[in-house]
A and B are shown apart, each in its own frame.
Chain A
Amino acid sequence: MTATITTGAAARSPHAADGSRVFLRQTWAMSKRSILAIARQPALVAPSLIFPLFFAALGASSFSKATNLPGFPKVDSFLSFALAGSIVQGVLFGSVTGGAALAIDIEDGFFDRLLASPTSRVGILLGRLAGAAAFGAFQALFFTLVLIPFGVRIASGPVGLAVIVASGGITGIAIGGFTAALALKTGSSEAVQGSFPLLFVAMFFSSAFFPRQTMQGVYRRIADLNPISYLVEGIRGLIVDGFDTVYVAQAIVVPIAIGVASIALALRMLSSRLAAR
C-alpha cells in the first residue's frame, strides 16, 4: 500500500506560483537546518574530512611507485591520482551521517513534529538532501585545497575545479538518497550507520583506489559494472588530464543518474512510511 505524497504548498494555495514559493521556502528552511547541524557538530563530521585524507596520505607513502605500473595514468604525484577517490570516499562518509540524522529525527520524534505541520512531505526529504549536497560540495573543495600544497594540480583549471565541486554536491545527493531511504525504511540510526561497510565495499570494487586498467578477474568485472568507477574517473580526468566534456559528463551525469534512482527509492520509502501510519 502506498500513500500519495502531496506538496503541502501546492495543496495550500490555489496559485501554483505561490505554492512553489512556499514549497521552496520550506525546503530551504529544512536545508538550512541540515547545514546548521553539520556546522555545529564538528566532532561528528570530522571523520568524513580526516579519514579520506589519511587514506590518501597512506596511499602516497605506500603506493607511490605504483604510478609506474602499466595502465596507471601519468601523474605528477600519487595524491593527484588519489584525490578523486578521497572526494567520493568523503562524500560517502558524510552521506551516512546525513542519513543517520534523518533516522534520529524519526527516533526522537522531530519527524512527527514536521508531519504534524502542513509542510510538504517531499520538502522534508529534499531539505535533507540539499544539506547533503552542500556538505558534499564543501568536501570536494576542502580535499582539493588541502592537497594542493602537497603537489596536487588541477589540470582542468578553475572551471574544472568548479565541476569537481558540483560533482561532490550531486554525489552527496545521490548517496544521501540511499541513506535517507534506509532511514525512512528502518527509522533506525544504527541501521543507517551499519550501511557504511556496504557502501565502502561498493567503493572498494571501483576504480577509486587503483585504475581499472591495473585490475584483473572478478574485481575488474565488478569495477567495470560499478557506476562509482565512472564517477571517479570523470573527476580524476579533470584533475590529471585537463578539461574534457567526457570527463565532465562522467563527473556530473553519473551521480545524477544514481541520484534519480536513490531519490525515487527514498520517495517510495517515505510514501510507505506515511501509509503505514
Chain B
Amino acid sequence: MIASASQKSPIVARGLVRHFGDVKAVDGVDLEVHAGEIFGFLGPNGAGKSTTVRMLTTLLKPTAGTATVAGFDVVKQADSVRRSIGVALQDAAIDPLMTGNELLELQSVLYGIPAGSVRQRADELLERVGLTAAADRRVGTYSGGMRRRLDLALSLIHQPTVLFLDEPTTGLDPMSRITLWEEVRRLNSEGTTVLLTTQYLEEADQLADRVAIIDHGVIVQQGTPTELKAAVGAPTLLITVSASQAEQATSTLSRFGELRPTAEGSLGVGLVGGARQVTDVVRALDEAGVSVHHLELNEPSLDDVFAEATGHRLEGAGASSSNDDDVSPAAEDGSEPTRGRRGRRRSR
C-alpha cells in the first residue's frame, strides 16, 4: 500500500515554510523527489537544508505548507511516515556506551521488528556496512566513518523505501566518504529513494540524479547536474592578481564576458570562447600592466550554478563552521542551544 501510494513521487513538498521566531529558516520550499532517484539538496550552512529534512521526517512541524512522504502527510500521518522512512540525521547521534549490535537491536525494537528476525537483520546490515568485526565494540571506540556507517545501518533496519541522509559525509576523510557514496549508490540501485543534503559540490555532482540548490531558505535552482551546469554556459576563467591591480584587472576582464562571483582574492569571467580566448585575455591584461599571479580555466561546476543563482560561492563558504547548519527546533522556545553540538563526548 505504501509502495503504491508513493510510486510516483515519494517526497512532495509544496510551499513548505518554517519560522523560528523572526527567522525564516525555510521560506516556501517546493520539491518533488521521484521514485528511485538520489536527490541532492545542496546549500551552505544555515541555508535551510536540515530544517527542511526535519520537517519531512516529522521532527518539526511546518509553519505553513504541506508535504507528503511515502504517500503520507507529514503532519496528519506522522506515524505512518516514520514507519516508511529511514533517517540518518546530521549529528550521527549514537550512544557511545552501547555496542553496534546493541544499537541495532534497540532500533529493531523501536521499529517493531519481530524478535525472531532481529538477529538476522542486524547481521546482514553489519556485514553490509563492513562493521561485523566491530559489532561488539562500544560505539565510543568507533572512528567517524564507522559511526556514519553504523548510522546508515540503523536507518535501514526496517527496510525503508525512502531514505533521508542529512550531510552524511560531513567531517569524514576522503576514503570514508567514497565508501559511504558507494553504499548509497548500492542502496539506490536496489530501489531506495534517497534524499541527501550536502554542502559538498562534488558529493552532489557524483551522487545525485537531480539537485536542488537552497539558499536563505529558498530553492534557487533545481534540475540534473548536467542541465544546471549547461545552463551556466561558458567556462569560467579565474585569475589572481595583487589587490592594488584588482580594479584594473576587473575592468579588463569585463571586456571579454560576464564577470562571475569568485572566492575572495580572485577574479572570474565567463569566456564564451573557452580556451581559445585565454590568450587574448592574458595579452589584454599584460597590455593593461596587470601582473597575473595565477590563472585557471574551469568548466562550469555546480559552484558556478550556485554562484549564478545566488551571487556568492558555496565552495569554502562553510568549512570552518560545519556544525552550524540551521536553527534548532528548540530555539523557538529558547529552551536549548543545539548549535554546534557535534563532537561533544559526554556521559549519559
Interface residues of A (CB under 8 A from B): 6, 8-9, 11-12, 22, 25-26, 29-30, 33, 36-37, 40-41, 44, 101, 104-110, 112-119, 185-189, 273, 276-277
Contacts and interface: CB of A to CB of B under 8 A. Distances in A.
Interface residues of B, number: 39
B329 interface: yes
Looking at B83, B95, B138, the one whose CB has the most chain A CB atoms below 10 A away is: B95
Given A112-B89, A116-B89, A118-B111, A11 B79 contact: yes
Interface string B269-302: 0000000000000000000000000000000000
Contacts of B344: 107-108
A132 B91 CA distance: 27
Interface stretch (B3-11, B101-109, B196-204, B252-260): B101-109
21 contacts: A25-B109, A25-B115, A26-B110, A29-B105, A29-B106, A30-B106, A33-B98, A36-B97, A41-B348, A104-B348, A106-B336, A107-B344, A108-B91, A116-B59, A116-B87, A118-B110, A119-B110, A186-B336, A187-B330, A276-B330, A277-B61
Closest 4 CB pairs of A and B: A109-B93, A187-B336, A29-B109, A109-B91
Contacts of A187: 330, 335-336, 338
B348 A277 contact: no
Contacts of B330: 187, 273, 276
Contacts of B329: 276-277
B193 interface: no
Contact of A117 (B61, B82, B115): B82
A213 B341 CA distance: 51
A188 B344 CA distance: 14
Per DSSP, chain A at the interface is helix
A9 B110 CA distance: 10
B154 to A, nearest CB: 8
A108 B336 contact: no
Given A22-B112, A185-B335, A188-B336, 18 more contacts: A8-B79, A41-B348, A101-B347, A104-B348, A107-B344, A109-B93, A110-B94, A110-B95, A112-B93, A117-B107, A117-B111, A118-B79, A118-B83, A118-B112, A119-B109, A186-B336, A187-B330, A277-B329
Contacts of B335: 185-188, 273, 276
Contacts of A22: 112
B66 interface: no
Given A108-B91, A112-B59, A113-B89, A12 B97 contact: no
Contacts of A118: 79, 82-83, 110-112
Interface string B74-92: 0000010011000101010
A37 B338 CA distance: 23
A186 B338 CA distance: 12
Nearest to A40: B97
B2 to A, nearest CB: 13
Nearest to A114: B110
B57 interface: yes
A116 B57 contact: yes
Contacts of A104: 346-348
Contacts of B97: 36-37, 40-41
A108 B336 CA distance: 11
B118 to A, nearest CB: 11
Given A106-B336, A108-B341, A33 B112 contact: no
Contacts of B111: 117-119
Nearest to B111: A117
B22 interface: no
Given A108-B341, A108-B346, A188-B336, A115 B59 contact: yes
A27 to B, nearest CB: 10
B98 A36 contact: yes
Contact of A29 (B79, B82, B110, B333): B110
B110 A117 contact: yes
